[in-house]
Amino acid sequence: METSEIRRRFLQYFEDRGHTVVPSAPLPSPDPNLLFNVAGMAQFVPYFVGQQTPPYSRATSVQKCVRTLDIDEVGKTTRHGTFFQMNGNFSFGDYFKEKAIEYAWDLVTRPQSDGGYGFDESVLYASVYYEDDEAIALWKRIAGLPDDRIVRLGMKDNFWSMGIPGPCGPCSEILIDRGPEFGADRDWEAGDRYLEFWNLVFMQNIRGEGGGKEGYPILGELPKKNIDTGLGLERVSYLLQGVDNMYEIDEIYPVIEKASELSGRKYGVEHVDDVRFRVVADHVRSALMLIGDGVTPGNEQGGYVLRRLLRRAIRSMRLLGYEDPSLVELLPVSLEQMKKSYPELQPDFGRISQVAYAEEDAFRRTLTAGTSIFDVAVKETKSEGGAQLAGAKAFQLHDTYGFPIDLTVEMAAEQGLQVDTEGFRTLMKEQRERAKADARAKKAGHADTSGYRELREKGVTEFTGYQELATDSQVRGLLKEGAIASAAEPGETVEVVLEKTPFYAESGGQIADEGLIVADGVKLKVLDVQKPVKGLIVHRVEVLEGVLQPGLDVHAEVDHEWRVSACQAHSGTHVVHAALRQVLGPNALQSGSYNKPGYLRLDFAWTSALDQATRSEIEEVANLAVRQDLPVSAQYMTLPEAREWGALALFGETYDEQVRVVEIGGPWSRELCGGTHVKHSSQVGALTVTGESSVGAGVRRIEAFVGMEALHYLGRERALVRLLSENLKARPEELPAKVADLAERLRVAEKELERVRAAQVLEAAAALAANPKDVFGVQYVGHRAPDGVNGGDLRKLALDVRGRMPADKPAVIAVLSVNDGKPGVVIALNDTAREWRLKAGDLVRVAAEKLGGRGGGKDDVAQGGGTDPAGADDALATVEHTIGQLVTG
């Protein structure tokens, strides 16, 4: 039975029994503590904990899930996977244990011809919480299970909670006995013999504080009892499809088959290869589903997980021996299987594939650059007599070039080295701690927020900056290093909380205002403004004059020119966003922004670079909107009202129920935004796009200047044009043709120079062939060509010399040159030399090692290179010495 059919039958069964079919929530989790949804109940949590009233009493779903904790274990065993699907049926105060057990047993054992799964009842068991006599009695009555097929387990195994005080309850599982080949009889915890595939949670209690899976107090019973069940779709698939594990089911195994075909290696022969095949199959499917739900590769959070999955899949294909781009071959195979359950993937595959293929292209370039750094590190380690690559070097490869640590370990092993993985992990931990500390320092000023919360309890800071730039206020409190302080003197930098303030706190991509806070004999320079806790605005200030104390009456005033330019930049960001969507279409949605006085940048979802004509069109649409003097207004409404009105809620932002909608020109631009803006679009002033670039697969960045900064930028451009005109003695409109002509003439000259240089190199062939060195009967030519000879010309020279050598004597030709600071070597052998069992590939590796690099090729011609020009002469001498050893040994 196909996985899609197992899924369909589950939903149909419960829909026929009064359950509302609820679509899967997207993979990215709205929970700030989670990257992705990891359980079938995820979208129903607000109903279970009483935060919201469910719109139905019964529901069923198949939830897409991604588990990230075990990525490194994927493939090593057949248990670990990243993407999985959880079938569930849910009751919110409706039916309870009896119906849940009845439904589960009926669907599992009902004949396939009657819409069920057709499991053999004789091999099924039930596990229960050891004190749940009610569930035991129900299993006996409904399923007819005898005592020896009902297993009592403790709180650790058969009691569920969310890990925090709140709803909890006993569990009951359906297990299948897979036979003695999978483990010992009655061994419930070890091996794969008794496999649990459906978990029924009877949510009936309330738990108290306590850590771990057991030992916390049960405080009482819930007023309404709920049901949450989870049937592992992949597990049921491999049980019904007669295969041993999830990697062999219909949704996954075709990718393994394709990877085997591409690599020429077989699955099921060697464990090391099997691990790589499973990594490829799991990660390709996971990436397909993540990109389908809007995740794009990046360096943070969910984007980093996706990038890691894609790169591990690509790396595994390379380790299987497939060097060409692989996702273009594998992703469509996964699509063919997954679209049976998720048909929306098919029309979106153009975007999905662009994102994935762009990431593979970027990683292939990364591998090229990082491999050079790796080669140097290996050479340094070996030259110092070391046997272990330093953790700092492994960290550099990871941090700068995106090398997964296991890739570095694999490459090092090929060079006979180990890696200081402990040192690597230490540096990774330090980096994470620095990042967390930086974030805390930026947003909260101190890790301990108790001081801020104490001041917040005195009331919300009133923000007056939408209406005015100057406000009379009072100092509510001040903090030093996050702690409440009683005073601050000149020269100190402290944090100040006012009763009300006109200073905008950094948020929504807009940086904080600058200005002054003054009182009698006191003067403060505002350096930064943040919201460390909700409702509290905190000013970081430098005390310039006087003694600052709580209770002081002050006058807070924002720098007028700063705010004007900041408003121009933020409104300009909205204008550019609307122009992007008008030119490129609604999919060009903003995914991040940053604006400061006179400057803006905007990240948006797009998979290819914008040509000059498109950039010009976006700039023109934006400036037309500025010229039209469109009204800019802000309104408050509920979040549902804003969405119904068509306001854009941007990726990565969180919103309260009551939101502020900024509108420019009516429906042309409507966005949820708390920033400061101009009153009319004409006040944005000149707007000029200065650049467009990639910031990750599927994400582009556009940058622009506005207002006076735009005019200054255009002035610099005009001065540059004037200078070029004077130097090239051409009018501005003639410059493109003039520059193009100069470039073409330069190209022709360089080509001719290259031809002359190649001819000079090849002129040496006759003299070299006439004067070989005899090395135990082998005619050896070791020649260092002039610097600047490229690999192609070296190869021509080696082959030319070989062609001039006597065919009846063994001949080895080694030619070497240093080009752009990097040495390259080519070795050619004639047929007689190969009959003497000499191989060009073996000799070039010896030479390349002296050059700090590597090489390879066929037995007759091989090529290599490195990073150490100082080893050039030594490389030729080593080849000669090696020939002697091979011939005489």
Query: Does 574 appear as a known binding residue?
Result: yes
Residue among 285, 237, 232 nearest 258 (CA): 285
Whether the CB-CB separation of 481 and 444 falls below 8 Å is answered with: no
Whether the CB-CB separation of 872 and 853 falls below 8 Å is answered with: no
Burial class (CB in 10 A: 0-12, 13-18, 19+), 691: exposed
Q: What are the C-alpha distances in Å from 879 to residues 207, 835, 847?
A: 75, 18, 6
Residue among 822, 828, 763, 756 nearest 787 (CA): 822
Angle, CA 432 vertex, CA 429 and CA 438 arms, to 5°: 140
Residue among 363, 437, 364, 429 nearest 391 (CA): 429
The position carrying tokens 């309330």 is 206
- Quickly list H helices, 384-449: 391-401, 405-414, 421-443
Query: Does 570 appear as a known binding residue?
Result: yes
What's the rounded Cα separation, in Å, for the pair 59 and 91? 7
Whether the CB-CB separation of 150 and 173 falls below 8 Å is answered with: no
Residue among 286, 300, 100 nearest 202 (CA): 100
Residues in the chain, how many?
Answer: 889
Whether the CB-CB separation of 443 and 536 falls below 8 Å is answered with: no
What's the rounded Cα separation, in Å, for the pair 198 and 335? 27
What's the rounded Cα separation, in Å, for the pair 369 and 351? 28
Give residue 412's identity as a one-letter amino acid code: A
Intra-chain end-to-end CA distance of the chain, in Å = 63
Q: Is 16 helix (H, G, I), strand (E, B) or coil?
A: coil
What letter does residue 182 receive in the DSSP assignment?
Answer: G
What's the rounded Cα separation, in Å, for the pair 182 and 96? 34
- SS3 string, 192-204, reads CCEEEEEEEEEEE
Query: Between 735-763 and 707-728, two packed helices, what is the crossing angle to 10 degrees?
Result: 60
Measured over the CA atoms of residue 460, residue 465, residue 468 and residue 469, the dihedral's sign is: positive
- Quickly list H helices, 132-227: 133-138, 155-158
CA atoms within 13 A on the CB side of 417: 26
Q: What are the C-alpha distances in Å from 694 to residues 493, 699, 709?
A: 38, 6, 24
Binding residues: 570, 574, 673, 677
Binding residues for Zn(2+): 570, 574, 673, 677
